[in-house]
Chains A and B, each alone.
Chain A
Amino acid sequence: MDRRMTFLILAILVFAPVAATLASDCSDGATEVRTSNQYVLYAQFTTNEDLGSWSFHSNCLYFIDGSANDAKMESYLKDSSVNITADDRDAIVARGTGTVVNVYDLSNYYYSDQTIYFNDSQKKAKLVLEPYNELSFFVKAGDTINLSINSAVDNMGDKVSAYYYLNYSTVYIDGPVEMSFKTSSIFKVELNLNGLYADVSYSVFGNSEPSGSATTYVVICSAITVLMLLVLVLASLKPRWSK
């Protein structure tokens, strides 16, 4: 191949990604999303004492094993669109001792030795669900994001407050938020969520969503690398005149 052609191909391969700047679109309009920032931990217990001495924690869900709510909870673990509006606390109290209870602990953190307390018993927890649909928005450098939280309620119907961090301080979102970024940043919205999940309706402008294919870049980078290796091999070959 002619050397000039080789240089030309090399230049195209190097600068093609630069030239091929693909514009990413911005989302607009109101969006409703179900989100959760809770780790769901699970343990099973059997009631063995008077219900009067038992206590129920606010960050836990209690279901009688095999009940309708328990089945819904199991469905929710597989499909987050299932609604969980209540647990079986009252039914557990009504049944008395010997009832098999599935306890789900909702926690903002998780570690492997985490345990769940129920009545006087303690068992090692099992992680069954991680947080999902984090409320975060990618903002490119130089862009300005406008965010409005229209509504945010948890699975029990209680209102949930939203906030974000600015210079290591908490800023609650009461109305529209407008922020500009000099670097590519992820604008993350946190929720004061005590329930299982929250349904959030929001409007956002100025953020970006990925729309490109990684395969193209893998091919381009591979081509440049192979070209460099070929030149390396070609240069290392013994020349014809070398005896």
Chain B
Amino acid sequence: MTEDRIERPRGRRESLDLGPSEPAAQDTPAPRKISLKIGRKSADSSDAPAPQEQEIFTASRVQESAGDRYESSPETGQPSAPRREISFETANSPGASPKSGGQRSVSIDLGTASRPAQQRSLDLEGGADHPVGSVGQGIDGPGSELADEEEPVKRPRGLGSILPLGGRDEDRKGTWKGTGYSASDDDAHRQVVYRIPSMMTQTMWMFMVQMKLFAKLKWTYFMLFAALLIPIAVVLASDYINLLLSEFGFVTGYSTTYIAGLLCMMPLMMGLFTSVLCGTQIPNEFKERTAYMNVSLPMSRISFYLGKYLAGFMLCLGVFVFAYGMAVAVSTTKYDLIFSDLLAESLAITIAGVFAYSATAFCIGSFMRRGSSMIPFILMSVVLPMVCILYYAMFQDSDPTWILMLPCFLCEAALGILGAQMSGSAGMIIIPMMDMTATWTMVAIGIVWGIAFLLLGMYRTMRREM
């Protein structure tokens, strides 16, 4: 009877090697100890046992003085059959001698050499090369015999498909016995390949996460309700609305002016809504400490920044396009035809305005430690228009119409192109002075303005300490 020391590899536990399985001598009734070696086994190992020589056993623990002994009882019901024993010895210290106090000896009685036909076979060898032995469920999980086979590469599923948990292949095998975790063998032994998702995917994740936050925000529904007030007010107080619009010259023989009248508060609302939705995103992330959760994820800050901005822009755009749709729908009850080109131009200017306003608010928010929806609103809807109007009034002789092309007047331009002569905002008196022949220049300025502020905010976010 020989006993070999079992040496655990320093790396991950991969397999239990039963070693060469020699046929038990028929004339040797005493149990024989087979050395076990835990570690990788080369594929061309010549001492690999043949599959038919694998032992089937059940183990029962017997306490011995120097260690644990697992004694197998034969399942065949033949007590006279020769028994074999596998001994596990673990050295707790390098200098420990066998059977000394620093060692634990574990032996497994393999029982009879005969294999019951219906008994479950569990492989010990967990190496990638070929199966060798079997030891039971506690070694490598239930059904570990499947792990020895060549498993096809599967696509990430479940949590791994959502969160970027690693950029390279990772062995997620382990023991979960007694942890309460339940999974099928197939799921438990899947070979999951985790890769860093593309920047587009990261941005989409951030976009959807921010949209989810917007779905819980009361302001979102307030804005949609505000847009819905257009048809509600016209239906419930048609005469009063018409009288009010007539007083300000919005009710004429043309539908576009009527649409502009219904949307006359859009410049003010755009400043407010974009500030609320886009101006508070980044500060809230730091205020609520949720931004730091993203640090551990393989998500670039650009994706973090752009995803959140796109969500705010998308929501603002949806709200104002919804308002446009409501106004146009209401106008159909009074007018049959519209100026399609003017309405398209107005819609394009509005989209550019939403982009410029939201980018400005988002950029300002990224510079702020505490979120404030009022600062971008006051800046874009009050301060900047008033400064420009004052400048225009002071230098009117030189005809400084260029200053009225700034993005803070894009909403006024969107209404003015429809024929409105005023709006419900700080720039209410400026529409007749504006040069609507350069609307596409205004759109271009608005886009450039928005991109510049987005890049500025992105620069700040990239350099921000997290």
Contacts and interface: CB of A to CB of B under 8 A. Distances in A.
Contacts of B314: 228, 231
Nearest to A211: B337
A121 interface: no
Interface string B419-453: 10100000000011011110100000000000000
Interface stretch (A40-48, A80-88, A218-226): A218-226
B253 A136 contact: yes
A227 B416 CA distance: 28
A108 interface: no
Q: How large is the interface on B (under 10, 10 to 19, 20 to 34, 35 or more residues)?
A: 35 or more
Contacts of A208: 339
Contacts of A134: 252-253
Interface in B327-348: 328-329, 331-332, 335, 337-345, 347-348
B322 A22 contact: no
Interface stretch (A57-65, A151-159, A170-178, A181-189): A181-189
Contacts of B342: 140, 184
Contact of A138 (B254, B318, B340, B435): B254
A21 interface: yes
B256 interface: yes
Interface stretch (A12-20, A97-105, A197-205): A12-20
A205 B239 CA distance: 35
Given A185-B419, A235-B215, A142 B436 contact: yes
B435 A222 contact: no
A51 B64 CA distance: 142
Contact of A236 (B159, B216, B322): B216
Identify which of A215, A224, A234 gathers the most chain B CB atoms within 10 Å of its CB. Answer: A224
Contact of B220 (A17, A18, A222, A232): A232
Given A211-B337, A232-B215, A21 B253 contact: no
Contacts of A138: 254, 256, 339, 419
B436 A217 contact: no
B214 interface: yes
B454 interface: no
Interface stretch (B11-19, B204-212, B280-288, B386-394): B204-212
Contacts of B436: 141-142, 182-184
Nearest to A135: B253
Nearest to A23: B341
Given A221-B322, A231-B314, A184 B417 contact: yes
A210 interface: yes
Given A234-B208, A235-B211, A214 B315 contact: no
Contact of A210 (B216, B256, B326, B431): B256
A183 B331 CA distance: 22
A183 B432 contact: yes
Contact of A20 (B254, B257, B328, B344): B344
A183 B317 contact: no
A210 B158 contact: no
Interface residues of A, number: 50
A169 interface: no
B437 A142 contact: yes
A216 B351 CA distance: 18
B321 A221 contact: yes
A138 to B, nearest CB: 5
A55 interface: no
Contact of A182 (B253, B256, B340, B435): B435
B202 to A, nearest CB: 13
B101 interface: no
Nearest to A3: B204
Given A18-B348, A138-B419, A186-B419, A218 B341 contact: no
B321 A214 contact: no
B273 interface: no
A186 to B, nearest CB: 6
A24 interface: yes
B409 interface: no
Interface in A122-143: 134, 136, 138, 140-142
Contact of B347 (A17, A184, A215, A232): A17
A225 B435 contact: no
B208 A210 contact: no
A221 B328 contact: yes
A212 interface: yes
Given A14-B351, A212-B337, A214-B329, A182 B344 contact: no
B447 to A, nearest CB: 13
A233 B421 CA distance: 39
Contacts of B329: 214, 218
Contacts of A186: 252, 254, 257, 419
A11 to B, nearest CB: 11
A239 interface: yes
A213 interface: yes
Contact of A213 (B337, B341, B351, B419): B337
A210 B339 CA distance: 5
A179 interface: no
A241 interface: yes
Contacts of B321: 221, 224-225, 228
Between B159, B340, B348, the greatest number of chain A beta carbons within 10 A of the residue's beta carbon is seen for B340
Nearest to A136: B253
B255 interface: yes
Contact of A241 (B158, B326, B343, B344): B158
B236 interface: no
A17 B337 contact: no
Contact of B340 (A216, A228, A235, A239): A216
B377 interface: no
Given A17-B348, A210-B254, A225 B340 contact: no
Interface of A: 3, 14-15, 17-24, 134, 136, 138, 140-142, 182-186, 208-218, 220-222, 224-225, 227-229, 231-236, 239-241
Interface of B: 158-159, 162, 204, 208-212, 214-216, 220, 252-257, 314-315, 317-318, 321-322, 324-326, 328-329, 331-332, 335, 337-345, 347-348, 351, 416-419, 421, 431-432, 434-437, 439
List the 9 closest A-B pairs by CB distance, nearest first.
Answer: A212-B340, A221-B325, A228-B318, A141-B436, A235-B211, A236-B215, A142-B437, A210-B337, A22-B340
17 contacts: A17-B348, A20-B340, A24-B339, A138-B254, A138-B419, A142-B437, A182-B437, A184-B416, A210-B335, A210-B338, A211-B340, A214-B335, A214-B337, A218-B328, A235-B215, A236-B211, A240-B158
